Structure 1
Amino acid sequence: MDLLTEPKLKRPFRRRVFYIPGYDPFHPRRYRELYRRHAAAQAEISGYAISLKPRTTPGPYGWHVSGVMETGFCETDVEVLVWSDIVRQSMGQGILATYLQMMRTIAAYVGTGAIFRLMRLRRGPILAALYPIVALLAQLGLALVVGVHLAEALGAYLWPPLAWLAGGAAVVAILHGFRRLDRYVFAWYLMHDYSHAASALGAWPPELAERMAKFRAAISEALRRDCDEILVVGHSSGAHLAISILADLIRGGLPEKRPALSLLTLGQVVPMVSFLPRAGRLRGDLHYLSMRDELVWIDVTAPGDPCSFALCDPVAVSGVAPEGKRWPLVLSAAFSQTLSPERWRAMRWRFFRLHFQYLCAFDRPGDYDYFRITAGPLTLGERFHGRAPSRGRIDRAASGYVTMSA
């Protein structure tokens, strides 16, 4: 279907999407290309029309989407709320600093007991957290073995201090080599990710808190514009950023006449932060947002994604669920059912790719379809009205820290 010649079905549904990435150092054009490629694939599979063009609203980075599906025609402007510069800065550590970060991160999760409580929820994300520690220690061990053997071999020909200096240089060179190859194994990347989350024991680092305030201002401004829905999407670490941003936005007061406000959290890892002792701000925001009627909040994860806390209600497991709790509605993307057996077999052990599947096409789509949600003519609340939580939802309180602050 050619969107440019599609007759006017009625007034187009208008949406603004604010996408908050997880801990990702890459340029936001990556998300545009991911959306473009997979929107076309999903449209072909599901029989609707969707097209992209340059954005029509102000902001640092985004794109415009036109969609024809279901009950009508939709125009969506997507904006990526960029914090990749903060990520790159946190990753710009030397070898020694990275290993010191690793030790501090281990101390944060083991010393507070958080790691043991998290393991009772889901073992997948904990194994994913242990992977970079094991990998970095193995790399260090291998480098030390090579360095010691080299120093001993050179000791027969060189002044011993020079031989050991050469061995030490070999250790550093080998570790630099491992770091350059990290785009294939993600060990250093994941170590920086977990270290950033644990750096302040759950409190927001000042530079991130400042950026979140700018994100909140952008969403606040959009709420005063003429559109039908403001949809905030938080993926991975971006989910808990989105929760705190919207909690502050609602506390500050919303316009009386405004679009529908929706929150979609995907592949969330909220407990990795909310279980830490100084995460009182995040726990307070979870508590507050879970009972608000100003928004609709849908949380989508999948047991097939080992990097998320699949089907864990982030409010309940954090121990801050209030009486009369309304949100989130916890749903499963059910990768083993919504991907064909062939695709599931091909992707099952590609853990990092599976963590991004929420933003991609499904060849056997169920009721979760990222492109219908972002480019279709229904609000998030209308789309999932009357939907029950997915079976297997985990809602038992598990955090050892439940203090809250606004």
Structure 2
Amino acid sequence: MRVQHRHIIYVQGYDPRGLAQYYRMFRTELRKFGRLYDLATTVSRPKGPPEGETASWSIETTGAGWHTRTDYDFLRWEDLIQRDLAWPVWRTLAYAIAIYWRLVFSGTMGRFWSAHWRFATFISYPHVLLLNEAIWSAGIAWAFGWGLQALGIHGFLAAAGAAGVFVAVLGTLLKTTENYTYLLYLMSDTIFTWQFSHGNRPDWDARIDRFAQHLVKVASSSDAEEIVLVGHSSGSFLGAAILARALRLDPELGRHGPRIVLLTLGGNMPIVGFHKAATGFRERLRQLAVEPSIDWIDCQSRKDVMNFFPFDPIAGQGIDAGPNRRNPVIVPVRFREVIRPEHYNRFRWKFFRVHFQFVMANERPHAYDFFMIVCGPVPLRERMDNPTAALKLVTGDGETRSQAWNRLNLGSESPGISGSATPEPSIRRIG
């Protein structure tokens, strides 16, 4: 039952910052995690070629009566994302606006509103903001054109001058406010998910194939007790695609070697699965839902506007998995319980910060803790089945820890992730 060696394969979302910034965040948050639970932790430097598609590091963690070693693989997409963000501004705006209105007229946007109004509001936000900036730019351009007319310049020249001012002011607003609004980044994200759902990103597909081969290789060669494929944000649907393709390469993937677990955090799978064209993607999810040799855990939070909550990733996308469905186990997470009360009111309005809490250190001990999932001695499946015992294992005194180990060895509080088939989604409440 005790994990001594774990292998994490981390699938980031659509984030251009990439390896360097993620590793710095990981190292900082690991230190906070160690202080919170009074654990000894060390982390190595990333290894791998500078321009490689994967980077790896290892973590050693020691607690009362246990020690774990974690191999951590970071799958890299930032070169592809940065290439998207290098598009001319006008091209990004035109493409994203066209996609948005296709979503509206096709009814897909209505499905977003029905599934989770906060997410639908979030993806509409850059378009509302663009309209606001365009109105201000038009006002300045009109004033400029009026001034030209007052100087005796009429007709085409005044109109051309006003148009030039409009373009210049709008472009300046977009670029100077991007670090605060993320407008162009969010529109690039919209373009990417549209292209991916319609099968128009062969560069991403090719890399997913290589990452699937990497997973198969790790599963066949690692002596770890479990392999956790973690997909955060858009990494949720990318991680699911990687695992589905790995199972296609090796149908016995989850039946030999380490236990395989897919962990999706703050997922937004409907931005792909709600498109009619994404039939292949939905079929892959159906296969994961009934695959008995792997586990899939999906963590969601009401406070995160960038994920869907509450949402069933299978039935919610119109996928009929039948009576053999066993995945995923849906885990609601309350961020109010992991953030200190004096910080929470400020925290809750920082939407990107909230979204990243799934993969950051807690401020308070809690059954959901990303770094305990990565570094702790309890297998992920048992952690989600017995959250109370898993928490007491690292927060209780000697007798309490002994009882927690016994509890974890005796069985689970919930059968949802224990391997039995269940046609309905299992919901494991934490906290």
TM-score (norm 1): 0.87
Return the alpha-carbon distance in structure 1 between the equivalents of residues 136 and 230 of structure 2. Answer: 42
Matched, 1:64 2:58: yes
1:376 paired residue number = 376
CA contact (8 A) 1:303 1:334 kept: yes
Aligned pair in 2 of structure 1 residues 286, 204: CA closer, same or farther (>3 Å)? Answer: farther
Aligned pair in 2 of structure 1 residues 293, 196: CA closer, same or farther (>3 Å)? Answer: same
Match of 1:243 among 240, 243, 249: 240
Return the alpha-carbon distance in structure 2 between the equivalents of residues 86 and 364 of structure 1. Answer: 36
Aligned pair in 2 of structure 1 residues 232, 70: CA closer, same or farther (>3 Å)? Answer: farther
Return the alpha-carbon distance in structure 1 between the equivalents of residues 291 and 200 of structure 2. Answer: 23
Moved more, 54-63 or 228-237: 54-63
CA contact (8 A) 2:58 2:70 kept: yes
Return the alpha-carbon distance in structure 1 between the equivalents of residues 196 and 232 of structure 2. Answer: 21
Which structure 2 residues correspond to residues 295-374 of structure 1 after superposition, within 5 A? 295-322=294-321, 323-374=323-374
1:165 paired residue number = 160
Q: Any idea what the Cα deviations from partners look like across 1:320-356, whole Å, max 9, x if unmatched?
A: 1412211111112211222222221111111111010
CA contact (8 A) 2:11 2:231 kept: yes
Return the alpha-carbon distance in structure 2 between the equivalents of residues 69 and 56 of structure 1. Answer: 26
Q: Equivalent residue of 2:290, what SS?
A: coil
Moved more, 249-258 or 371-380: 249-258
Q: Any idea what the Cα deviations from partners look like across 1:150-180, whole Å, max 9, x if unmatched?
A: 1221234346544333322322222222232
Return the alpha-carbon distance in structure 1 between the equivalents of residues 261 and 196 of structure 2. Answer: 29
Q: Give how far 1:49 is off.
A: 2.3
Q: Give how far 1:383 is off.
A: 2.0
1:221 paired residue number = 217
2:396 paired residue number = none
Q: Equivalent residue of 1:135, what SS?
A: helix
Aligned pair in 2 of structure 1 residues 70, 279: CA closer, same or farther (>3 Å)? Answer: farther
Code of the aligned partner of 1:23: Y
Q: Equivalent residue of 1:310, what SS?
A: coil
2:201 paired residue number = 205
CA contact (8 A) 1:16 1:227 kept: no
CA contact (8 A) 1:23 1:238 kept: yes
CA contact (8 A) 1:296 1:380 kept: no
Matched, 1:45 2:71: no
Return the alpha-carbon distance in structure 2 between the equivalents of residues 341 and 276 of structure 1. Answer: 40
CA contact (8 A) 1:338 1:362 kept: yes
Q: Equivalent residue of 2:44, what SS?
A: strand
Return the alpha-carbon distance in structure 1 between the equivalents of residues 187 and 38 of structure 2. Answer: 41
Moved more, 311-320 or 89-98: 89-98
CA contact (8 A) 1:32 1:63 kept: no
Which structure 2 residues correspond to residues 378-397 of structure 1 after superposition, within 5 A? 378-385=378-385, 386=412, 388=414
Q: Give how far 1:128 is off.
A: 0.3
CA contact (8 A) 1:62 1:79 kept: yes
2:85 paired residue number = 91
Which structure 2 residues correspond to residues 79-228 of structure 1 after superposition, within 5 A? 79-157=73-151, 158=153, 160-180=155-175, 181-199=177-195, 201-203=197-199, 205-228=201-224
Q: Give how far 1:71 is off.
A: 5.2
Structure 1 residue runs of 5 or longer lacking an equivalent are 1-10, 390-394, 397-406
Return the alpha-carbon distance in structure 1 between the equivalents of residues 138 and 48 of structure 2. Answer: 54
Return the alpha-carbon distance in structure 2 between the equivalents of residues 387 and 37 of structure 1. Answer: 34
Return the alpha-carbon distance in structure 1 between the equivalents of residues 45 and 312 of structure 2. Answer: 36
Q: Any idea what the Cα deviations from partners look like across 1:79-109, whole Å, max 9, x if unmatched?
A: 2111122222222222321221232222332
Aligned pair in 2 of structure 1 residues 70, 188: CA closer, same or farther (>3 Å)? Answer: farther
1:294 paired residue number = 293
- State the percentage of identical aligned residues: 27
TM-score (norm 2): 0.83
Code of the aligned partner of 2:96: M
Return the alpha-carbon distance in structure 2 between the equivalents of residues 212 and 305 of structure 1. Answer: 27
Return the alpha-carbon distance in structure 2 between the equivalents of residues 320 and 71 of structure 1. Answer: 44
Q: Which has the higher contact order (CA 8 A, sep 6+)?
A: 1
Matched, 1:35 2:26: yes
Q: Equivalent residue of 1:293, what SS?
A: coil
**Cα RMSD between the aligned structures?**
2.3
Return the alpha-carbon distance in structure 2 between the equivalents of residues 71 and 368 of structure 1. Answer: 21
Q: Equivalent residue of 1:314, what SS?
A: coil
CA contact (8 A) 1:202 1:274 kept: no
Moved more, 202-211 or 76-85: 202-211
CA contact (8 A) 1:339 1:362 kept: yes
Return the alpha-carbon distance in structure 2 between the equivalents of residues 267 and 108 of structure 1. Answer: 25
Q: Equivalent residue of 2:212, what SS?
A: helix
Structure 2 residue runs of 5 or longer lacking an equivalent are 386-411, 417-423, 426-431
Q: Equivalent residue of 2:68, what SS?
A: strand
CA contact (8 A) 1:19 1:78 kept: yes
Aligned pair in 2 of structure 1 residues 70, 142: CA closer, same or farther (>3 Å)? Answer: farther
More helix by percentage: 2
Q: Any idea what the Cα deviations from partners look like across 1:125-149, whole Å, max 9, x if unmatched?
A: 1110110110111112211221122
Q: Give how far 1:270 is off.
A: 0.5
CA contact (8 A) 1:232 1:263 kept: yes
Q: Give how far 1:359 is off.
A: 0.9
Code of the aligned partner of 1:176: G
Q: Give how far 1:249 is off.
A: 0.9
CA contact (8 A) 1:197 1:272 kept: yes
Code of the aligned partner of 1:74: T
Q: Give how far 1:366 is off.
A: 2.0
